[in-house]
Structure 1
Amino acid sequence: MKTVDLELANSSRRDFLQQTSAGAGALVLASFWGADANAQQSVSKPTAGAAFTPSALIKIDTDGSVTLISKQPEIGQGIKTSLPMVIAEELEVNWKDVKIVQGDLNPAYGSQFAGGSLSTPLNYDEFLKLGALARTMLIEAAAQSWKVAATECYAEKSKVFHKASKRQASYASLVSKAASLPVPDVKTVKLKDPAKYSLIGSRIGGVDNADIVTGKPLFGIDVKLPGMLYAVYEKCPAFGGKVVSANLEAIKALPGVRDAFIIEGTNNLNGLMPGVAIIAESTWASFSARKQLKVVWDEGKVVNESWDDFSAKAMAASKQTGAINLRKDGDVNAALASAAKTVEASYSYPFISHASIEPQNCTAWYKPEDGSLEMWVPTQNPAAGQAIVTNILKIPKEKITLHMTRSGGGFGRRLSADYVIEAAAIAMKVKAPVKLTWSREDDMRHDHYRAGGFHFLRGGVDAKGKLTAWHNHFLTFANRVTRDGKSILQPGSGASLSGDEFPGRWVENCLLEQTPMETGVPMGPWRAPGSNVFAWVFHSFIDELAHAANRDPLEFRLEILGDKDVMQGTGERGQPYNVNRMRNVLKMVAEKSGWGKRQFPRGQGQGIAFHFSHRGYIAEVAEVTVSKEGQLKVDRVVVVTDIGSQIVNMSGAENQVQGSVIDGISTLMFPELDIQRGRIVQGNFGEYGLLRMPDSPTKIDVHFLKSNFPVTGLGEPAFPPLAPAVCNAIFAATGKRVRQLPLSRNDLRWS
């Protein structure tokens, strides 16, 4: 397997991108992804020795080598490997002959982003068609050369065969002929029988693995250009503050410093934040100069906010009326009054950072001679970067070239483009290639955070132990924004409860309420937004009710789910919730974990949880040991996933599930951010804990339950059930219920 290194002046790479954008592929992609009409070009006539480019994502050279464009951002989810595998499967090529090129932002490619575990479901079917389209044209080329019917031929391992005569022709020998053929209607293309897949479902190592472990330049932070300068950008420690003055002349006089200036910015959470830029000849020089920077700030009104105040407000608001009613079925108060047993509990969790290993960075090069801007960005959403530059700096999008580099982690943070607009604004003043690099403190103190939250719950069960009442009053955080000329409170990403959230429609008497608390703290999507905390709250409280009813937690959950096949509109983001699929993964995880078949000694226990997240049905069982001194060890986690009819890359899929489990344990145990005087207190990993190797689970068992449903993604679904499964296991082991995150705030000692 070959990959293309990050070469910033790679003429062959640029030539390929230009060729494929201007060829037949733009027309093909337009029908698949709704590509920009301006990107659609007429099919160019083939020239002698020309490569075969049936789409903007595929090129086969006359030597038989196959180049595939990976159009989606690669942030560690493995999409740069798995999506080309889908094309290669239908194209019938040898994987060893394939090389992958990371695509730039290009309207010919259609949608390009990595978020919501959507890269696979939005592209899988169309990539199959792309591969089949190219294969069909190659078969047709061979058939015409042999003067036989195309139906008498088939393709396999980069060759076309004629069944009757046993003639064969390599793809390399067919390139020129195939390039001269008209592109057929994609509706006439016949796809392979999935039972005959040889690549999809196999184990393929990541195409960048060798380059990563040998330190080759793949990431945004690796970008180097001739004559490049290095920038840092100091923003107000308190959110929403702006610059009054700074010692710019003193900074400019420091060794290696080229310039220092104030950027007024828009002071908008989704715009360009005000700050002071320092431009130097090296990263070291810019970071060193920053230590001597003295800024007088107007800190604004957010300086009055603190986490302790929010906690007090939430407690007071939980006892008041006036909450937003999200769902009201039956009579919760009457059901609770008549319940055989009731449980009340409050759950809370803090703001946390994305804490990706590679801090935010962007290299930008503004060329005043033609008003163009070229950028190299580790991004999840390149179009957002282009749009914010156009909107604020007024550079037309056709004048912006955006190269996507590999990202050293994203988790939703790189869906935002604040670091992109900062680099672009600096580049316009510098008029030279300039790399903006955030420090770790920048990254942690100017993140777009996962919002904290407070849930006040009541539940009741009848004399038979059946759940009869559920009440959740959710105190969430919201930013004040202007929409359609009106000032409104907009809850943070993943910080708004849906009336369809489980166990909403499953409980006869259900009341779901939400009260927003205004904050100036910026919030954004964080891995499995909403689900990452809601699963912990819901399935921990369900566990409380199961134990109060003296019921087996698995049996209790299956009873709540009921036996209806599909409850339309009850899933997240409008996706239908298939009860049968969830019941199946629950039953399978019970079987694979040996649920209820062992007696655990005091200090050890099993916990179970499930969640529907990002179109994936996931159930998990955690087994833990808690010492008398309160030290937790996660011994084993068993995961069963249903993400549809195919696992594209078994190696990558297992990696995603294992990574979700480890990240889930880390997020459960350690990270939290304190807010004081409108700013984040923690600044680096010494103050912001993450999982270390000794705390990782001893064993993670991953099982995939294939179902006859569309293929979906796996970057997020396995994350949410981990925290409740572990916390429920802790209760089984110690009798102690975890209702506050992180786990480090809880005393797990027992005797």
Structure 2
Amino acid sequence: MNKTVGTTRRAFLRNTALGSGGLVLGLYLNDAAQAAVAAQSPGSTFKPNAFISISDQGVVTLISKQPEIGQGIKTSLPMVLAEELSVNWQDVRIVQGDLDPIYGSQSAGGSTSTPTNYQDFLRLGATARTLLTQAAAETWGVPADECAAENSFVVHAKTQRKLSYASLAAKAATLPVPAAATIKLKSPKDYKLLGQRIGGVDNEAVVTGKPLFGIDIKLPGMLYAVYEKCPVFGGKVVSANLAAIKALPGVTDAFVIDGTANLNGLMPGVAIVAESTWAAFSARKQLKVQWDEGAAATQSWDGFTRQAESLAKQAGTQVQRKDGDVNAALASAAKTVEAAYSYPFISHASMEPQNCTAWWKDGRLELWAPTQNPASGQNLVVNTLGIPKEKITLHITRSGGGFGRRLSSDFIVEAAAIAQRVAAPVKLTWTREDDLRHDHFRAGGFHFLRGGVDAQGRLTAWHNHFVTFANRVMRDGKSVLQPGSGANLSGDEFPGRWLANCLIEQTPLECNIPMGPWRAPGSNVFAWVFHSFIDELAHAAGRDPLEFRLELLGERDLVPGTGERGTPYNVGRMRAVLKEVAARAGWGSKKFPRGQGAGIAFHFSHRGYIAEVAEVTVSKSGQLKVDRVVVVSDIGSQIVNLSGAENQVEGSVIDGLGTLMHPELDIQRGRIVQGNFGEYPLLRIADTPPRIEVHFLRSDQPVTGLGEPAFPPLAPAVCNAIFAATGKRVRQLPLSRTDLSWR
């Protein structure tokens, strides 16, 4: 088990100063082509752009710069460095890097951490290995090409002499950095570490309850805070019984924060600061606030639903794609299908509620936060409170789940605003009710679809009118409606680019509900809508769902497009995973009795090509059991950490099933109704599939991430299997709203 060290950046620089000789290498990730790798001579000051340090005691310290939110990046990215460095993994110590521009991007979202760092980290590790090899060659007086690095040693092949990295560190630190053209990366066939199953570096600390998370932070003299916001989004404080709250036991202060109009920023509210979390929570129960709830108090989910149904009868206000003549194609189709799909707002519901510790002292602000996007949090504090960026230090703690929620930084700016009024470090902790009712939610949505197939059973027409949710924002001095994160439908989404007659239109529905990224934004619901409706069309055509999809994909290698989702779509990769998952699952070879069935779906999301088959049993009374899920993924040429990759796919399946079955948030009088897990159930162990089979196809493509791509196909695969078992279509989420009973 590798040891993970929790430390501040300053402490790390102090503790790793190589006064007795050592090697430190750094890399500017924002200019990888001109990678600035600096060798440090003995006794010189450590340079803060370092990712690798090797002490003369043989300890290899690697900086993990990305936030760890459970996706395993704190293990996998250092593995990339260690592989090219040819180091013994047991010699490695991993330090979580704090926010520092020298590290380049430090955001964990969109499954980007691996693809944006992989090649850079290979080169960084290889450069360090090259210097160590050169140091050994010069020590022996032999050509460097006769030497090879392995397992934290450099070996001279002809004489079998070897020197440890510890003994070479001081000399390597004096050598000039080799030219980039001379750095040779290993062949993947020679990898010893990448592709293996490596346990998470924090696993032991997690299971034994060691302090790793933001909520674990404790500082001398620390105070504790809670923050009460208006239950209606955008509401303001009129008055509060502050004097009575200040008089309560353990309370040190209570005050109003005016906040801003930014729904995703510092909302107005009342802060209570106390000597313990319990004292703060107890005082909050006696807090009485008169709110100006504003216009949003009239909004409700039922009202949104009625508006969407009315808007569906009109033309969309935004045309996202228009090819051919959809109405004519539908009129001439042998069969047509119409369907309306809808899904609610839901919460991220991460197990660790939002929290942040802040210390305002001598004009400087120090923050400890479980954040997915530390730079965004720092910028929000700068823009909201006017504190210069150079006066802010942000320490990145491990997060107890993120799923996109911690890409937002409202909890950070709240803690910072409270800290400015407190002469001590203060930890802000949200309750579960805060977390559910003041989330930046996955947007709800309504899709009104029409499709047609010809006499040969081919899809000839597709029309999707998407009624989405949008907030009103100021842009270039104008008030405009901006769809929430993941609530903007690209015209390049499948099957838009594949059809001669396609109309994709969108109508924004104004709301005051704050929205934010939610695992696999957009794809998490679009895949369910598209691949469920495609299944409906396949059934109408009397076609096998797999055959229908393969025909629709066609034989072209690439389908061009524009925009984030409109990157060139590699048809060959998708056909390969679709065929492989069908073969692995035995698609079409089983005869299921009534009440059992299989469904298939695929989706291209966050650079990953994923196909899934789900097998289900539905009792006559409508009880669902997902018996088996088979997943085939193509995420490029190399799996970094097989254990982590399997974990991400299995987690996506379980999370996808839980999201399909249970969560929904009702909105009444502009506020979220549900407050805790008793009203917002999550998936239980007994409901998880007993068999989740994970397979990877290697392709000659760049390595990419896996935190999100396997999530989207699960819901349509299960719903299509439910139809195969019962003849019932699921067109509304969550699944609990559909009666699955059958006779």
**Which category describes the TM-score, using the shorter chain as reference length?**
over 0.9
| Percent identical | 74
Report the 3-state secondary structure (helix = DSSP H, G, I; strand = E; otherwise coil) of the residue aligned with 1:130.
Answer: helix
2:448 to 456, 464, 472: 456
Q: Aligned runs of 1:197-208 on 2, under 5 Å?
A: 197-208=191-202
Q: Given residue 330 of structure 1, which amino acid in structure 2 is its aligned partner?
A: G
Counterpart position of 1:308? 302
1:242 pairs with 2:236: yes
> Under a length normalisation based on structure 1, what TM-score does the superposition of the two structures give?
0.96
1:23/1:16 CA distance change after superposition, 3 Å: farther
Q: Given residue 417 of structure 2, which amino acid in structure 1 is its aligned partner?
A: A
Deviations 1:342-395 (Å, cap 9, x if unpaired)? Answer: 00000000000000000000000011x2x1111100000000111111111111
1:427/1:557 CA distance change after superposition, 3 Å: same
Aligned-partner Cα distance in 2 for 1:694–1:191: 46
Q: Given residue 601 of structure 1, which amino acid in structure 2 is its aligned partner?
A: P
1:248/1:663 CA distance change after superposition, 3 Å: same
Aligned-partner Cα distance in 1 for 2:631–2:728: 24
1:46 to 36, 42, 45: 42
Q: Given residue 606 of structure 2, which amino acid in structure 1 is its aligned partner?
A: H
1:297/1:220 CA distance change after superposition, 3 Å: same
Cα pair 1:476 1:514 within 8 Å, conserved: yes
Counterpart position of 2:673? 681
Q: Aligned runs of 1:609-628 on 2, under 5 Å?
A: 609-628=601-620
1:4 pairs with 2:4: yes
Deviations 1:627-665 (Å, cap 9, x if unpaired)? Answer: 000000000000000000000000000000000000000
Report the 3-state secondary structure (helix = DSSP H, G, I; strand = E; otherwise coil) of the residue aligned with 1:262.
Answer: strand
2:425 to 425, 433, 442: 433
Counterpart position of 2:435? 443
1:551 to 528, 543, 552: 543
Aligned-partner Cα distance in 1 for 2:478–2:535: 42
Q: Given residue 84 of structure 2, which amino acid in structure 1 is its aligned partner?
A: E
Q: Given residue 72 of structure 2, which amino acid in structure 1 is its aligned partner?
A: G
Superposition deviation, residue 309 in structure 1: 0.4
Superposition deviation, residue 323 in structure 1: 2.5
Q: Aligned runs of 1:366-381 on 2, under 5 Å?
A: 366-367=360-361, 369=362, 371-381=363-373
1:559/1:636 CA distance change after superposition, 3 Å: same
Deviations 1:461-492 (Å, cap 9, x if unpaired)? Answer: 00000000000000000000001111110000
1:545/1:27 CA distance change after superposition, 3 Å: closer
1:714 pairs with 2:706: yes
Counterpart position of 1:15? 14
Counterpart position of 1:167? 161
Deviations 1:317-364 (Å, cap 9, x if unpaired)? Answer: 000125311111111111111100000000000000000000000000
1:347 pairs with 2:341: yes
Aligned-partner Cα distance in 1 for 2:227–2:15: 36
Report the 3-state secondary structure (helix = DSSP H, G, I; strand = E; otherwise coil) of the residue aligned with 2:273.
Answer: strand
Superposition deviation, residue 206 in structure 1: 0.5
Aligned-partner Cα distance in 1 for 2:187–2:49: 23
Aligned-partner Cα distance in 2 for 1:686–1:163: 66
Q: Given residue 46 of structure 1, which amino acid in structure 2 is its aligned partner?
A: P
2:392 to 396, 400, 404: 400
Q: Aligned runs of 1:118-133 on 2, under 5 Å?
A: 118-133=112-127
1:192 pairs with 2:190: no
Cα pair 1:561 1:583 within 8 Å, conserved: yes
Report the 3-state secondary structure (helix = DSSP H, G, I; strand = E; otherwise coil) of the residue aligned with 2:124.
Answer: helix
Superposition deviation, residue 432 in structure 1: 1.1
Cα pair 2:54 2:60 within 8 Å, conserved: yes
Counterpart position of 1:229? 223
1:516/1:207 CA distance change after superposition, 3 Å: same
Report the 3-state secondary structure (helix = DSSP H, G, I; strand = E; otherwise coil) of the residue aligned with 1:690.
Answer: coil
1:140 to 104, 127, 134: 134
Point out where structure 1 has 5 or more consecutive residues left out of the alignment: none
Cα-Cα RMSD: 1.9
Superposition deviation, residue 568 in structure 1: 1.8
2:527 to 522, 535, 539: 535
Superposition deviation, residue 18 in structure 1: 7.8
2:734 to 718, 736, 742: 742
1:255/1:19 CA distance change after superposition, 3 Å: farther
Superposition deviation, residue 144 in structure 1: 1.1
Superposition deviation, residue 519 in structure 1: 0.4
Q: Aligned runs of 1:235-384 on 2, under 5 Å?
A: 235-367=229-361, 369=362, 371-384=363-376
Superposition deviation, residue 14 in structure 1: 4.6
Superposition deviation, residue 151 in structure 1: 1.3
Aligned-partner Cα distance in 1 for 2:288–2:48: 58
1:86/1:27 CA distance change after superposition, 3 Å: closer
Q: Given residue 465 of structure 1, which amino acid in structure 2 is its aligned partner?
A: G
Superposition deviation, residue 514 in structure 1: 0.2
Superposition deviation, residue 2 in structure 1: 2.3
Superposition deviation, residue 43 in structure 1: 6.2
Cα pair 1:51 1:176 within 8 Å, conserved: no
Aligned-partner Cα distance in 1 for 2:693–2:253: 55
Superposition deviation, residue 134 in structure 1: 0.3
Q: Given residue 738 of structure 2, which amino acid in structure 1 is its aligned partner?
A: N
Aligned residue pairs, count? 741
Deviations 1:45-83 (Å, cap 9, x if unpaired)? Answer: 422xx8998961101111111110100000000000000
Cα pair 2:27 2:51 within 8 Å, conserved: no
Report the 3-state secondary structure (helix = DSSP H, G, I; strand = E; otherwise coil) of the residue aligned with 1:442.
Answer: helix
Cα pair 1:5 1:217 within 8 Å, conserved: no
Report the 3-state secondary structure (helix = DSSP H, G, I; strand = E; otherwise coil) of the residue aligned with 2:245.
Answer: helix
Counterpart position of 1:649? 641
Aligned-partner Cα distance in 1 for 2:396–2:16: 13
Counterpart position of 1:116? 110
Aligned-partner Cα distance in 2 for 1:486–1:351: 27
Cα pair 1:451 1:492 within 8 Å, conserved: yes
Aligned-partner Cα distance in 2 for 1:33–1:233: 46
Superposition deviation, residue 413 in structure 1: 0.4
Report the 3-state secondary structure (helix = DSSP H, G, I; strand = E; otherwise coil) of the residue aligned with 2:420.
Answer: helix
Superposition deviation, residue 29 in structure 1: 4.6
1:510/1:29 CA distance change after superposition, 3 Å: closer
Superposition deviation, residue 505 in structure 1: 1.4
Cα pair 1:52 1:61 within 8 Å, conserved: no
Q: Given residue 123 of structure 1, which amino acid in structure 2 is its aligned partner?
A: N
Report the 3-state secondary structure (helix = DSSP H, G, I; strand = E; otherwise coil) of the residue aligned with 1:395.
Answer: coil
Counterpart position of 2:682? 690
Report the 3-state secondary structure (helix = DSSP H, G, I; strand = E; otherwise coil) of the residue aligned with 2:465.
Answer: strand
Report the 3-state secondary structure (helix = DSSP H, G, I; strand = E; otherwise coil) of the residue aligned with 1:57.
Answer: strand
Superposition deviation, residue 15 in structure 1: 1.8
Deviations 1:534-557 (Å, cap 9, x if unpaired)? Answer: 000000000000000000000000
Aligned-partner Cα distance in 1 for 2:513–2:713: 27
2:147 to 153, 158, 181: 153
Q: Given residue 261 of structure 2, which amino acid in structure 1 is its aligned partner?
A: N
